[in-house]
Structure 1
Amino acid sequence: MPRSARRKQLLSAAQEVFVAQGYHAAAMDDIAERAGVSKPVLYQHFPGKLELYLALLDTQASALSEGVRAALEGTTDNEQRIHRVLSAYFGFVDRDDHDGAFRLIFESDLVNDPEVRKRVESVTARTMEAVADTVAADTGLSRAEAELLATALTGSAQVVARWWLASDRPVTQDEAITLLESLLWRGISNFPRRDG
Structure 2
Amino acid sequence: MNKVDNNFNGKITLAITGASGSAYALRLIECLIAANYQLYILCSSAGRIVLDTEVGIKLPASPEAAGKFLSDKYQAKDNQITVFGKEQWFSPIASGSAAPKTMVVCPCTTGTMAAICHGMSDNLIERAADVVIKERGQLILMIRETPYSTLHLQNMLSLSQQGVTIMPASPGFYHKAESITDLIDFMVGRVLDHLGIEQNIMPRWGYNANN
Same fold by TM-score, threshold 0.5 exceeded? no
**Of the two, which has the highest radius of gyration?**
1
Q: TM-score, normalised by structure 2?
A: 0.23
Higher relative strand content: 2
